[in-house]
């Protein structure tokens, strides 16, 4: 030991320096983290640490793969599959932290690093997935799988490796592999650029007001928040509304200035389509063309065929049928909502037809007229900390777990809070980070991921480090974060994803594959509890008085559950059709994005009063992991509505037997077997669509 240490100390310094001169000894990624639960030491991690660590991670994983393929012994599950599961641990640790920061707390320097590392990582992934020797070892095991005496999880991880390698080009000839490498490299850079553009466009000021009279109709809270936003952007004395939803949606709901509502609405829907340096039209056109090339190269007619092969839906025909079955009743309900709003416009002698930028404003009036309810009446009872506490309480009552604040764990931004999650008996489950407020360095939307996944390879248990990110209403100088109903549902939704990760109970990470149209079940089912009267009484308390939300308001919430369901379903379905149409292309010709989108929405008969939830140039889902998969949310809505009926049918929202079954078959082990098999094990039968239709008023 001593001799080895002395030799190390006399190695020339240049040999322990990375290409950019960063000393590994001072880089926290090259050390064991002596933090609670080995959480990332964000106080030590600096931007300059990422590139050398990623370079080293690539080098280490390459050596680990070389050791597997050069092993002279015949392939076994241990020397090939288990070895693969253990490979890349260093790189994975760095990438998870870097990816988390690039999504939730990025800056120019991090984005520059991403532009350097993205092609490096694309090449590295292809070097592994297209390695002929590696594939032959796995193929040999796969062909012998019936005599290997593997347990069910081992069989699943073997199948997943084989299928994934084939789907990533392992069966291609050398010419095909080289073509695939070029396609993958170009797509990775296009995706990165799209995301950077989308962030810039979303952070832009959509509307800057400098006249008090233009604030007519807005509440004091909305005005104060806009003033703080303007001040933060160097426009003190004015009022700024950005294109982040917590900023511009309240303006659309309450501003009496129709021309300004139109201005901010159009700024929002035209993100990525302004013919400026952040324009995404050429990027999406090229990306979809490359996806066709890639799919054809791999033997699929379309990108949708390639994606859906491993989803519950299985093929595009099933998706289109599903969407069309919902489309007609959704449009009919939306037209009823249009009639309600047009009557108000006509009664007020407005003299115009309802347009998309009018929807939020007149929908609020309908809500007040029909249900004696508006958003601002509810917000005081939905303080963020109370809503989060409510979501935690639901999880605790269902699964007997505890969320314990940890102030001793480092965070990457002051907005982040950390909790240790434990079983009822005190056993450690994992760490949960929440990060809920918008900022310029955070992409839009809400998501769940982790700095570390769960595993138990060869008895070495690794607990997960999970985070939830959102863009909810920010606190102001005089008020805490007071959330909308939509934001409340989103917080519950993301915690559902978090529980799925926290409860994961696999030996091998590679065994778990949850298809896009199944992975939303764990998240969406949590939304069902958010507004149940019994649950509201657990957490909805007035932020000033501590008063529990009154029965009268609860009843108004219950009565308004079908409010705006036509609009929400139609705008969502329109985006789902648009996604599918882009990925049903059979040739690699680059399209005029605006014309293609117009034709896609015209084909389904989208009514003029509603815009698609996303436009192609800002449809980040389909650049990320939801291409030919945006339909997944409503597919999973059938599952979550049906699954929640299992709880309600017992007469107890927190029925232990039902909760235990859901945790076992869906949250802990879901993804190790076919999705429908897991669902039937939980529910005792296949799902029925009835509960969803009833919930949305479409029956």
Give catalytic residues, as residue numbers: 494
Helix axis angle for 245-254 and 359-371, nearest 10°, is 60
H or E stretch at 240: strand 239-242
Beta bridge partners of 403: 421
Task: Round to whole Å and give the CA distance between 87 and 85.
Answer: 6
Q: How many CB atoms lie within 10 A of CB 76?
A: 14
Q: How many CB atoms lie within 10 A of CB 686?
A: 10
Give all strands (DSSP E) within 360-509, no chain letters. Answer: 402-405, 417-422, 428-435, 447-452, 455-457, 460-462, 465-469
Q: Tokens 């993804």 sit at which residue?
A: 671
Q: Compute and round to an integer the Cα radius of gyration of the chain.
A: 26
Task: Round to whole Å and give the CA distance between 378 and 547.
Answer: 13
SS3 232: helix
CA 420 to chain CA mean position, Å: 22
Going by their DSSP bridges, the two strands 447-452 and 402-405 should be labelled as: unpaired
Residues in the chain: 699
Report yes or no: 308 and 628 within 8 Å, Cβ to Cβ.
Answer: yes
For residue 466, which of 419, 501, 425, 417 has the smallest C-alpha distance?
Answer: 501
Helix axis angle for 258-269 and 245-254, nearest 10°, is 150
For residue 247, which of 434, 468, 560, 476 has the smallest C-alpha distance?
Answer: 476
CA distances from 380 to 130, 374, 377, 547, 552 (A): 56, 12, 7, 10, 15
Task: Round to whole Å and give the CA distance between 53 and 31.
Answer: 11
Under the phi-then-psi rule, with left for phi > 0, alpha for psi from -120 to 50, and beta for the rest, what region is 217?
Answer: left
Report yes or no: 287 and 194 within 8 Å, Cβ to Cβ.
Answer: yes
Exposure pattern of 545-562 as b/e (b: 16+ CB <10 Å)? eeeebeeebbebbeebee
Q: Is the dihedral of CA 32, 38, 40, 41 positive or negative?
A: negative
Rounded to 5°, angle at Cα 612 from 343 and 372: 35
Six-digit token pair at 644? 């929640």
CA 405 to chain CA mean position, Å: 24
SS3 29: helix
H or E stretch at 100: helix 89-104
H or E stretch at 579: helix 565-582
Six-digit token pair at 180? 């695939």
Q: Within 13 Å of residue 357, how many CA atoms lie on the same side as its CB?
A: 19
Report yes or no: 367 and 560 within 8 Å, Cβ to Cβ.
Answer: yes
Could you tell me the end-to-end alpha-carbon distance of the chain, in angstroms, rounded to an integer?
Answer: 74
Q: Tokens 């117009």 sit at which residue?
A: 598
Residues in CB range of 279: below 8 A, 6 or more apart: 197, 272, 273, 617
SS3 468: strand
Going by their DSSP bridges, the two strands 465-469 and 428-435 should be labelled as: parallel
Residues in CB range of 668: below 8 A, 6 or more apart: 503, 504, 505
């Amino acid at each position: 030991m001593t001799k080895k240490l002395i030799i190390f100390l006399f190695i020339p310094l240049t040999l322990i320096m990375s290409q950019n001169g960063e000393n590994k000894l001072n880089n926290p990624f090259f050390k064991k983290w002596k933090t609670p639960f080995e959480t990332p030491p964000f106080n030590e991690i600096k931007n300059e640490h990422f590139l050398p660590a990623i370079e080293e991670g690539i080098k280490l994983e390459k050596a680990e793969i070389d050791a597997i393929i050069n092993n002279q012994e015949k392939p076994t599950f241990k020397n090939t599959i288990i070895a693969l599961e253990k490979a890349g641990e260093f790189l994975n640790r760095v990438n998870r932290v870097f990816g988390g920061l690039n999504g939730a707390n990025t800056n120019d320097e991090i984005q520059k690093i991403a532009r350097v590392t993205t092609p490096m990582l694309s090449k590295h992934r292809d070097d592994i997935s297209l390695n002929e020797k590696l594939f032959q070892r796995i193929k040999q095991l796969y062909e012998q799988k019936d005599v290997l005496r593997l347990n069910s999880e081992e069989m699943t991880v073997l199948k997943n490796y084989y299928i994934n390698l084939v789907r990533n080009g392992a069966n291609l000839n050398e010419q095909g592999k080289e073509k695939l490498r070029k396609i993958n490299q170009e797509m990775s850079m296009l995706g990165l650029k799209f995301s950077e553009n989308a962030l810039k466009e979303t952070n832009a000021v959509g509307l800057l007001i400098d006249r008090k009279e233009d604030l007519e109709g807005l509440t004091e809270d909305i005005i104060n928040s806009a003033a703080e936003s303007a001040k933060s952007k160097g426009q003190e004395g004015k009022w700024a509304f950005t294109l982040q939803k917590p900023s511009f949606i309240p303006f659309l709901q309450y501003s009496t200035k129709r021309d300004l509502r139109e201005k901010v609405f159009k700024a929002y829907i035209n993100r990525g389509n302004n013919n400026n340096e952040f324009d995404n039209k050429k990027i999406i056109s090229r990306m979809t063309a490359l996806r066709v090339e890639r799919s054809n190269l791999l033997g699929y007619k379309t990108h949708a065929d390639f994606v859906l092969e491993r989803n519950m839906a299985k093929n595009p025909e099933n998706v289109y049928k599903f969407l069309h079955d919902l489309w007609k009743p959704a449009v009919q309900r939306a037209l009823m909502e249009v009639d309600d709003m047009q009557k108000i416009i006509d009664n007020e002698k407005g003299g115009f037809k309802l347009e998309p930028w009018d929807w939020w404003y007149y929908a609020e009036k309908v809500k007040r007229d029909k249900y004696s309810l508006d958003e601002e009446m509810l917000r005081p009872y939905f303080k963020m900390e109370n809503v989060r506490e409510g979501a935690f309480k639901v999880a605790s009552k269902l699964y007997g777990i505890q969320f314990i604040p940890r102030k001793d764990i480092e965070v990457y931004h002051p907005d982040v809070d950390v909790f240790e999650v434990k079983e009822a008996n005190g056993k450690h489950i994992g760490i949960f980070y929440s990060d809920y407020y918008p900022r310029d360095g955070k992409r839009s939307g809400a998501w769940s991921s982790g700095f570390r996944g769960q595993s138990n390879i060869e008895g070495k248990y690794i607990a997960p480090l999970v985070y939830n990110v959102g863009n909810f209403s920010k606190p102001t100088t005089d008020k805490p974060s007071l959330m909308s109903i939509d934001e409340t549902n989103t917080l519950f939704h993301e915690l559902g994803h978090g529980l799925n990760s926290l409860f994961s109970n696999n030996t091998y990470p590679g065994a778990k594959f949850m298809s896009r149209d199944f992975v939303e079940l764990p998240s969406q089912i949590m939304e069902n509890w958010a507004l149940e009267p019994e649950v509201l009484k657990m957490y909805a308390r007035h932020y000033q008085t501590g008063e529990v939300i009154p029965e009268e308001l609860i009843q108004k919430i219950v009565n308004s559950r079908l409010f705006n369901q036509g609009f929400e379903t139609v705008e969502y379905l329109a985006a789902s059709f648009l996604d599918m149409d882009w990925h049903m292309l059979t040739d690699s010709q680059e399209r005029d994005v605006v014309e293609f989108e117009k034709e896609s929405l015209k084909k389904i008969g989208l009514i003029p009063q509603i815009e698609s939830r996303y436009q192609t140039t800002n449809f980040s889902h389909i650049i990320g992991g939801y291409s030919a998969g945006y339909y997944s949310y409503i597919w999973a809505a059938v599952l979550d509505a049906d699954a929640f009926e299992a709880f309600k049918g017992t007469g107890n929202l927190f029925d232990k037997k039902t909760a235990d079954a859901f945790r076992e078959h869906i949250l802990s082990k879901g993804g190790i077997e076919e999705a429908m098999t897991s669902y039937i094990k939980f529910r005792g039968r296949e799902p029925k669509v009835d509960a969803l239709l009833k919930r949305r008023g479409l029956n």
